[in-house]
Amino acid sequence: MDKKKFYITTPIYYPSDKLHIGHTYCTVATDVLARYHRLLGEDVMFLTGTDEHGQKIEDKAREAGVTPKEFVDRIVEGPRGVRDLWKLMNISNDRFIRTTDDYHVKSIQYIFRRLHDNGDIYKGTYKGKYCKPCESFWTESQLKDGKCPDCGREVQDAEEEAYFFRLSKYADKIRDLLENTDFLEPRSRVNEMIRNFIDPGLEDLCVSRTSFSWGVPVDFDPGHVVYVWVDALSNYITALGYGNGRYDDYEKGWWPGVNIVGKEIVRFHSIIWPAMLMSLGEPVPKKCFGHGWLLLDGGKMSKSKGNVVDPYILAEQFGVDALRFFLMRTFPFGSDGNFSNELLIQTINTDLANDLGNLVSRTTAMAGKYFGGTLPAARRYEKERDDELVKLVLGLRDKYEDAMEHYAPHKALEEVFKVVQRANKYIDENTPWTLAKDMEQNGPRLASVLYHLLEATRVCGILLTPFMPVSMDRLFAQIGADASVQTWLSASMWAALPADVHVAKGENLFPRVDTDKALQELEAAVEAAKQAESGVELEPQLAEAVDFDTFCKSDFRVVKVKSCEAVKKSEKLLKFILDDGTGTDRQILSGIRKWYEPEALVGKTLVAIVNLPPRKMMGLESCGMLISAVHKEKGEEVLHLLMVDDAIPAGAKLC
Ligand code: MSP
């Protein structure tokens, strides 16, 4: 019989900055769920990746003096980049998608065309607000105190020719999906979506941009690039082969899958994404789970606030499994939680070193000391002393399963640790060291006590495997559990270990952390990382070669500035009226206000490329681009307009 297929995804990450512990939380949680489903015996496909287009990336690359692709390549594939982090964190993804992958780009063009051809995408003019860091469009009424409702930052006026997706058409179906199915969880997120977006009325969504170029071009209207969220959300199906020939898993029953996402992007995943799928005539995801945020001092972590926690430093200091465990044990998955180093150390010391670590080391040490590591077959079971532990162990798998099926890994761990704690208490109740004083009389009882402890440890070990895969392998080796007794089935069985099980005490699984020392070391590591980072600048690279004919198509002309003024409501733009030698004034908008006073430029002789397609910015048309030289000084971008000899007449061609 075919195994049940289970498809699970994390959000694909913006490689605009290094990933922090909040991103790690989201990916570790998805990894734990993927591993849990593998433990159940299902055929799991786990997808993660990177979301590499958009204006933010284009801007950052320009600041760094590299192309957008070079910029993202470095953060995704480079040392201590996204891929390295997931490798370090033992993330077991089966596939990794980059939205710059050719097959994905092809699929996005296919999807956009299909949405257009079936009448759900039409052309109009976009007027509204845009939050650049979030790559989100907002209407005036959605803003919070005039700022982005997600991140609280300033928004910009935006007006340009754009394509729109008929999101409004799907309002009733989306309401039904949210209210009458368990598609979106936890339930509190349903209420948020209904109150904030559905009740006020869904508006059509702007799904293309013309004011920047780093995106998937609309193939039937090349001045437009596809809105980054349409591009990004589609990854969940393009990675299965939808609209491309790279994979053929979409047809093989992997879709629909489960999307695990952070709360601020639930809107995209529970409204826009299902509406796109409905329009395409494809099934909506099985589930969207919106987890909470890890906060620092009560606020969201962000690079710009300078309060991000580096997962590399924590994993290197405390171990990958301990970090994975802490993230899942401490914070209820659907709610926000406050991260702190002290809490991390406390969790390691209490749960891992004291409770689980001690259980394993005491049990294996006693088996070694009293029986040379191999338990004798003769046993004495004492019902009134043993039954409670056995019952608890045998009931654990169901409780754990129930929690995991409800996306509550923290509850699953709570159940496991109830058993770990009960097993430790069982040691104190049965005092093996007293039994060992009279081996002739009490040897069989002592063997039975140790066997009970080993069985309890084994079952807990199986259920902890998705959380701490490497440490649980070491635990199984120490308690003599081979692969046949590490299965999901055997987690509901008592006495799966052989009667004469051989136990090998090994190194402490989870050494105790000295809090003061660890905090000092952490501080030093954070400082060292800062120093290392401030020394690193992306090396400028030469652009890809173009052939001579392509180069010759660019029409560079000398132009004279007739007038120059700042564009109202824009912090960046200057509006130039230029003499380009044709006798008709040319208008060019340029984002250089930071470096020049407009009046100072009147009369200057500059260079412009004049055969670019016209573009609208802030409602004004820009016909061409002024050429500048850009470099970096003390990490800051510095720009110089290219000025040439005033003796050169307007219209002179550069060649
Ligand atoms: N690129 C989009 C997702 C596109 S999915 C089609 C994106 N990327 S992100 O890098 O900003 O965030 C990736 C994930 O990390 C999101 O689920 C987000 O909620 C999560 N987290 C980022 N910071 C977080 C915390 N501080 N805490 C918990 N999760 C957080 O959004």
Written as one string, the DSSP assignment of 93-138 is -SEEEETTSHHHHHHHHHHHHHHHHTTSEEEEEEEEEEETTTTEEE
For atom 13 of ligand 1, which residue has the closest CA?
13
Q: Ligand 1: which residue has its CA nearest to atom 18?
A: 262
Tell me the β-bridge partners of 184.
288
Q: Which residue's CA is the closest to the ligand 1 atom numbered 9?
A: 13
Predicted pLDDT at 538: 44
User: Atom 10 (ligand 1): residue with closest C-alpha?
Assistant: 13
Task: Convert the pLDDT of each residue in 409-430 to its tens digit.
Answer: 999 999 999 999 999 999 999 9
Given this model, what pLDDT does residue 226 score? 97
Q: Whose Cα sits closest to atom 30 in ligand 1?
A: 22
- For CA atoms 23, 29, 30, 34, give the dihedral sign: positive
Closest residue by Cα to atom 25, ligand 1, is 22
Residue 530: what pLDDT? Answer: 80
| Cα 181 to averaged position of ligand 1 atoms, centre (Å) | 25
Please report the atom of ligand 1 found closest to the CA of residue 23.
Answer: 15
Atom of ligand 1 nearest to the CA of 295: 26
pLDDT, tens only, 351-406: 999 999 999 999 999 999 999 999 998 899 999 999 999 999 999 999 999 999 99
Collect the ranges in the chain with pLDDT lower than 70: 1, 303-305, 534-546, 634-635
Residue nearest to atom 15 of ligand 1 (CA): 23
Task: Report how far residue 280's alpha carbon sits from residue 358's, in angstroms, rounded to the nearest whole number.
Answer: 55
Distance 11 CA to ligand 1 centre (A): 6
Tell me, in angstroms, the distance from the centre of ligand 1 to residue 464's CA: 26
Candidate of 10, 14, 26 to mutate for ligand 1, largest count of ligand atoms within 8 Å of Cβ? 26
For ligand 1, the distance from its centroid to the CA atom of residue 97, given in whole angstroms, is 16
**524: CA distance to ligand 1 center in Å?**
28
pLDDT of residue 545: 64
What pTM was estimated for this model as a whole? 0.81
Closest CA to 111 of 254, 235, 215: 235
**Which among 8, 9, 10, 13 is the best mutation to test ligand 1's pocket, defined by most ligand atoms within 8 Å of the CB?**
13
Give the bridge partners for 579, in sequence order.
560, 585
What is the position in ligand 1's atom list of the atom closest to the CA of 264? 19
Is residue 459 within 8 Å of 415, Cβ to Cβ?
A: no
Task: Pick the atom of ligand 1 nearest to 261's CA.
Answer: 17
Ligand 1, residues 19, 23, 238: which to mutate, most atoms within 8 A of Cβ? 23
Output the CA 22–ligand 1 centroid distance in Å.
8
Q: Classify residue 537 as exposed, middle or buried by CB count within 10 Å of its CB (0-12, 13-18, 19+).
A: exposed
**Which atom, in ligand 1's list, is nearest to the CA of 51?**
1
Candidates 514, 489, 484; CA nearest to 501 is 484
What is the DSSP-derived secondary structure letter of residue 140? G
Name every protein residue with a CB atom under 6 angstroms from any ligand 1 atom: 11-14, 22-23, 25-26, 51, 232-233, 235, 261-262, 264-265, 293-294, 300-301
- CA 583, chain centre distance (Å): 54
Classified as helix, coil or strand, 204 is coil
Q: Is 198 helix (H, G, I), strand (E, B) or coil?
A: helix
346: three-class secondary structure by DSSP: helix
Atom of ligand 1 nearest to the CA of 292: 28
- Ligand 1 geometric centre to CA of 25 (Å): 10
13 CA to centre of ligand 1 in angstroms: 6
Residue having the nearest C-alpha atom to atom 8 of ligand 1: 13
| CA-closest residue to ligand 1 atom 26 | 22
* 374 and 382 Cβ atoms separated by less than 8 Å: no
Give me the pLDDT at residue 543, please.
Answer: 53
Q: What are phi and psi of 82, to 5 degrees?
A: -65, -50
